């Protein structure tokens, strides 16, 4: 085990039964914390999406072109949108791109329909500041289900603190537009897909694609704080999880990311495939990405 970029700590294996690292609280204690109030609209929407995705099992809804549309939209909305736009660009400011390109990536992420952009950015910044403690909205020490999906379905107490974490984007008109209209934008995409390819394009390009993208991103919060290996002894439970990295174009190298939060590069070993990093390199070669932070500059800052 090696890496020219990794810290000098040894790799640790984590499992569901492990106790929390760094915050001194065991997983078994999570039930002592108060459970916030459920958000009925989020629960309803999530259940509806899962049921709608089952329409993929109806033979008349299948076509290879519909699957192709779903895969292409997954790459655009999760790879370029969530991983590059929402996460590395908007949340961590790991690179700079022209404003028009930043807005394009934010629009791509908005079409992943993972909630409104300011909430996504704010909650993720909270997660880094309070990783795996009570101030973390998806504190993994409360269990897999909480960190994966349940936290979204509850009015977490730190919601009121969101504006403090999003001051840099709060007044940006394009972020505000995407924040306010992410559901109508998804409906517009659905209508366009229906006009283009009928129900198969809607079932695969919207329902199945949103289902896969939603859980792929949720696994970063759950699986990547429970399973996999640790290359860095960061003060949290973060792990590197190869299959999450494949689903999310590099986000699964989450322990690397927690160790070097401002770096635009998440994969550090040669086999830690980080496709978004290669997109960043391409943008850099084209002169479209500047001030790209890497492990070296991140650890020096």
CB of 212 to Zn ion, least distance (A): 20
The phi, psi pair for 2, rounded to 5°, reads -160, 170
Residue among 141 and 238 whose Cβ is closer to Zn ion: 238
Q: In terms of Cα–Cα distance, which of 68, 83, 20, 38 is closest to 216?
A: 83
Q: Which stretch binds Zn ion (CB under 5 A): 20-28, 60-68, 230-238, 289-297?
A: 230-238
Q: How far does the chain reach from its first CA to its final CA, in angstroms?
A: 26
CB of 147 to Zn ion, least distance (A): 9
Q: Which stretch binds Zn ion (CB under 5 A): 4-12, 147-155, 181-189, 231-239?
A: 231-239
Residue among 200 and 213 whose Cβ is closer to Zn ion: 213
Residue nearest Zn ion, CB atom distance: 238
Q: Which stretch binds Zn ion (CB under 5 A): 31-39, 112-120, 232-240, 293-301?
A: 232-240
Residue among 238 and 256 whose Cβ is closer to Zn ion: 238
Residue among 130 and 159 whose Cβ is closer to Zn ion: 130
Residue among 238 and 248 whose Cβ is closer to Zn ion: 238
- Within 127-186, which residues bind Zn ion (CB under 5 A)? none
> Residue 113 has which token pair?
């329909």
Q: Which stretch binds Zn ion (CB under 5 A): 94-102, 113-121, 237-245, 262-270?
A: 237-245
Residue among 23 and 238 whose Cβ is closer to Zn ion: 238
| CA 229 – CA 253 distance, rounded (Å) | 9
| CA 301 – CA 223 distance, rounded (Å) | 29
Residue among 231 and 238 whose Cβ is closer to Zn ion: 238
CB of 283 to Zn ion, least distance (A): 19
Total residues at the site for Zn ion (CB under 5 A)?
Answer: 1
Spell 120-155 as b/e; 16+ CB within 10 A means b. bbbbbbbbbebbbbeebbbbbbbbbebbbbbbbbbe
Q: Which stretch binds Zn ion (CB under 5 A): 9-17, 38-46, 156-164, 235-243?
A: 235-243
Residue among 83 and 238 whose Cβ is closer to Zn ion: 238
CB of 218 to Zn ion, least distance (A): 12
CB of 202 to Zn ion, least distance (A): 32
CB of 194 to Zn ion, least distance (A): 35
CB of 200 to Zn ion, least distance (A): 35
CB of 38 to Zn ion, least distance (A): 24
Exposed, middle or buried: residue 16 (CB in 10 Å: 0-12, 13-18, 19+)? exposed
Q: Which residues bind Zn ion (CB under 5 A)?
A: 238
């Amino acid at each position: 085990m090696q890496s020219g970029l990794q810290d000098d700590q040894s790799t640790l294996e984590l499992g569901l039964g492990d106790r929390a690292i760094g915050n001194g609280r065991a997983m078994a204690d999570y039930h002592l914390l108060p459970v916030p109030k459920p958000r009925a609209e989020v629960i309803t929407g999530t259940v509806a999406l899962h049921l709608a995705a089952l329409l993929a099992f109806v033979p008349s809804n299948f076509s290879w072109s519909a699957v192709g549309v779903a895969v292409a939209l997954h790459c655009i909305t999760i790879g370029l949108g969530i991983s590059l736009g929402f996460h590395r660009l908007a949340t961590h400011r790991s690179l700079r791109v022209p404003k028009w390109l930043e807005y394009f990536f934010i629009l791509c992420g908005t079409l992943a329909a993972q909630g409104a952009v300011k909430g996504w950015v704010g909650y993720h910044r909270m997660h880094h500041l309070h990783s795996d403690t009570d101030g973390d909205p998806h504190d993994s020490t409360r269990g897999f289900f909480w960190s994966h999906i349940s936290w979204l379905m509850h009015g977490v107490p730190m919601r009121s603190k969101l504006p403090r974490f999003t001051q840099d984007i709060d007044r940006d008109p394009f972020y505000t537009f995407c924040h306010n209209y992410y559901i109508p934008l998804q409906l517009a995409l659905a209508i366009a897909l229906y006009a283009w390819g009928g129900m198969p394009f809607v079932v695969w390009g919207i329902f199945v694609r949103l289902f896969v993208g939603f859980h792929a991103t949720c696994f970063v919060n759950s699986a990547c704080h429970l399973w996999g290996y640790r290359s860095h002894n960061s003060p949290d439970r973060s792990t590197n999880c190869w299959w999450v990295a494949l689903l999310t174009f590099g986000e699964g190298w989450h322990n690397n990311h927690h160790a070097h939060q401002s770096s635009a590069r998440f994969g550090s070993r040669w086999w830690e495939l980080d496709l978004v990093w290669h997109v960043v390199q391409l943008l850099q070669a084209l002169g479209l990405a500047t001030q790209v932070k890497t492990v070296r500059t991140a650890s020096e800052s």
